[in-house]
Amino acid sequence: MRDEAGPQPSMGLRGHSAFQPSAVAEKALIISHEAVNGEYRHMRLACNAVAAGAAPGQFFQLLCPAPPGEAPFLRRPMSVYGADPATGTVEFLYKVTGAGTRGLAMLGVGDQLDILGPLGQGFTLDPAWRHIVAVGRGAGLATLAPLARAARAQGIGVTAILSARRPELVVSEAQFRAQGAEVLAVTESDGTSSPAYVERQLRALTAAGRCDAFFTCGSARLLRLQQDLAREFGLPGQVALEQQMACGLGICFCCVRDFQVEGRTLHKRVCWDGPVFDLLEAVA
Amino acid sequence: MTDMTVRIGGLTLASPVMPASGTFAEGLARVMDLDRLGALVTKTITRELRDGNPLPRVAEVPGGMLNAIGIPSKGVPCFLRDSLPFYQRWRPPLVVSISAPTAEGFAALAAEISVPGVTAIEANISCPNIEEDGKAFAMQAGSAAAVMRRLRAATSLPLWAKLTPNTGDMAAVALACEDEGADALVVANTILAMSIDLQTFKPRLGNIMGGLSGPAVKPIVLRQVYQCARAVRIPVIGCGGISTALDAAEYMLAGATAVQVGTATFLQPEAMTQVIDGLAQFCAARGIGHVAELTGALKREDTHEADLAWAAPAP
């Protein structure tokens, strides 16, 4: 468990006036919301400064409206696709898969969505790195997208290997290209998405000195592949993981997963200790 | 301005609103000002190290959720080293929820955590008692009395008994706890329930059964608070499906001196402060100067108990 300091309690005469939250629940205004392909939708919201300061890999808890005949009760975790303090916006990219995302899909520009965040521990970048590799699949590509900008801001080059079933489902490609990243899209329909093919690419990047760290999200097979390579070459890495959540604040312990830490298997909370974890501690 | 103070046994709380055990931990301090609460109530701690139940540990149902988390616990030394100093940074009194599989285990744990910084103990006697074939202590007056007697002898701190709603005679359990020295009752824990996934034919909880909480339980637990508050003289703290100030006011009218907010915090992390502000407004709008005046202020025609016979099954 992390030794979490939390905010200082208020000591002023007016009691709670000094409290500064680090995550806020807010009814944010939807300023754009559109389908990007047959499966994914992109939502952009105007939000408070705390939310707009979300780091890559962090997430929000969304209070989704109820679609007809369904009643999602809990909030739904959603990783940050983009956040910009300059414009006061936060973005999500999601695939409609259940009651929560069906509810989200009903919302239009000008509607409000109750968002709580930013939450959890995001990706961290070591300024000593010169080039990193981001390998993702499916919805995991949305989680990796904000890394491109953060890496560029620190002068770190990025190669992104983006995996999906079909070329039109490769999301986040534009985000990576816009930040000068090298992009390789691999798909089932092209026959390029097998772990063996990805492994050849990763070995070539490692041999060329273009992989100081692995970043991954969205595929257990690709996670295992990168864990093997990280061990073989002594490289660090980070993985963003998913789990069913209730509170999102580390309270309820419903989102625990197994991790291997110093030879022991232990539980960590995805919402609080993660969702970004050390690549080698994750149990794929 | 409404006087929001309430008295629970020997304690005066600045507000009648506090978290329900299990729905409050360090992370909430990131989102809301803990200094506004009437008390801080920890997740249940145990002496044994516990991993918790198999996943999934929660499931949504209409108007609420099921949980079977399984009380993961890192034990007492971890609590004393990490959690206790953390909570001492806030002003509200700290109430520590404890559980054990035996009456003796309860007593030993109560003694161990009766240290400076802990203001009161909430005994989660809704958990299974291994000496009674796994039945919760608070399912029967006899086992509730036995565990409360041991607890009372083990600590001089105020003792709150958290009752289970899964019993046929809550008033008798409430009386037994009062007789054995409980300073307050928390009514109630979650309602034992289950749910099945019709795609897979599997239970929707890894533990098969779990506790129902959220708005769905409110009318049931409200009735239990009413029954308990009529049976005992010690304060009753209402806990079950409260998400708004109006819910809290209803509980107080039924006899609760204070309330705990649980599942609502998962949906709105500021639910508790909203309940506090809303209760103050509720009182102010009605010319009620002190929130404590709501407690037991239910107006009812004098009903002969026999008139309730229609609610019982036909013989």
**Under an 8 A CB cutoff, do B57 and A272 touch?**
no
Least confident of A219-228, B122-131, B185-194: B122-131
Half-sphere exposure of B125 (CA within 13 A, CB side): 39
Q: Does residue A185 carry a pLDDT above 80?
A: yes
Chain B CB contacts of A244 below 8 Å: 55-56, 58
Q: Is A244 on the interface with B (CB under 8 A)?
A: yes
Reported pTM: 0.94
Query: How far, in Å, CA of A257 to CA of A253, rounded?
Result: 10
A/B interface, count of CB pairs below 8 Å = 118
Q: Is B248 on the interface with A (CB under 8 A)?
A: no
Mutation to test the A interface, candidates B4, B15, B31, B94, most A Cβ within 10 Å: B31
Q: Does residue B129 carry a pLDDT above 60?
A: yes
CA distance A250 to chain B (A): 6
Q: What is the pLDDT of residues A81-110, one digit of tens each?
A: 999 999 999 999 999 999 999 999 999 999
Chain A CB contacts of B56 below 8 Å: 244, 254
Nearest chain B residue to A19, by CA: B33
- Dihedral in degrees, nearest 10, Cα atoms B239, B243, B249, B252: 0
Q: Is B35 on the interface with A (CB under 8 A)?
A: yes
Tell me the two tokens of residue A80. Answer: 């940050």
On whether the CB atoms of residues A165 and A237 are closer than 8 A, the answer is no
What amino acid occupies position A150?
A
Q: What is the pLDDT of residues B199-213, one digit of tens each?
A: 999 999 999 999 999
Region B14-35: mean pLDDT is 97
Angle between helices B141-154 and B103-112 (to 10 degrees): 30
**Taking the mean position of all CA atoms in its chain, how far away is CA A64?**
19
**Under an 8 A CB cutoff, do B270 and A25 touch?**
yes
* Largest pairwise CA distance in chain A: 67
**Under an 8 A CB cutoff, do A4 and B266 touch?**
no
Query: How far, in Å, CA of B44 to CA of B65, rounded?
Result: 19
pLDDT number for residue A243: 96
CATH 3.90.1150.10 fits A21-119, yes or no: no
Extract the annotated binding site of B.
Answer: 21, 43-44, 67-71, 124, 162, 189-190, 214, 240-241, 262-263
Extract the annotated binding site of B for FMN.
Answer: 21, 43-44, 124, 162, 214, 240-241, 262-263
Q: Does residue B310 carry a pLDDT above 90?
A: no
Is A131-278 in the same CATH topology as A21-119? no
The domain that holds B217 is classified in CATH as 3.20.20.70
Does ipTM surpass 0.90 in this model?
Answer: yes
**Domain locations in chain A?**
21-119, 131-278
Range(s) of the domain holding residue B103 = 6-311
Q: Does residue A10 carry a pLDDT above 50?
A: no
Residue carrying structure tokens 């909570």: B87
pLDDT number for residue A284: 81
Q: Is B87 helix (H, G, I), strand (E, B) or coil?
A: helix
In a domain, B40, yes or no: yes
Q: What is the pLDDT of residues B61-113, one digit of tens each?
A: 999 999 999 999 999 999 999 999 999 999 999 999 999 999 999 999 999 99
Q: Is A14 on the interface with B (CB under 8 A)?
A: no
On whether the CB atoms of residues A39 and A169 are closer than 8 A, the answer is yes
Least confident of A7-16, A35-44, B132-141: A7-16
Interface of B with A in 48-67 (CB under 8 A): 51-52, 55-58, 60-65, 67
Interface of A with B in 39-98 (CB under 8 A): 63, 71-75
Q: Does residue B314 carry a pLDDT above 70?
A: no
In a domain, B195, yes or no: yes
Catalogue the E-assigned strands of B68-199: 94-98, 120-124, 159-163, 184-187, 191-194, 196-197
Number of domains in chain B: 1
Examine the residue annotation and report whether B239 is marked as an active-site residue of this protein.
Answer: no
Query: How far, in Å, CA of B102 to CA of B81, rounded?
Result: 25
Region B6-24: mean pLDDT is 97
Q: Taking the CB of residue B302, how many other CB atoms lie within 10 A of it?
A: 5
Mutation to test the B interface, candidates A13, A249, A259, most B Cβ within 10 Å: A249
CATH number of A131-278: 3.40.50.80
Interface of B with A in 194-233 (CB under 8 A): 214
Question: Average pLDDT, whole number, for chain A?
Answer: 93
Q: Which percentage of chain A shows pLDDT scores above 90?
A: 93
Q: Is A252 on the interface with B (CB under 8 A)?
A: yes
Q: Does residue A112 carry a pLDDT above 90?
A: yes
pLDDT number for residue B304: 61
**Taking the mean position of all CA atoms in its chain, how far away is CA B119?**
16
Strands B94-98 and B40-41: parallel
Which of A63, A254, A267 is the closest to B51 by Cβ?
A: A267
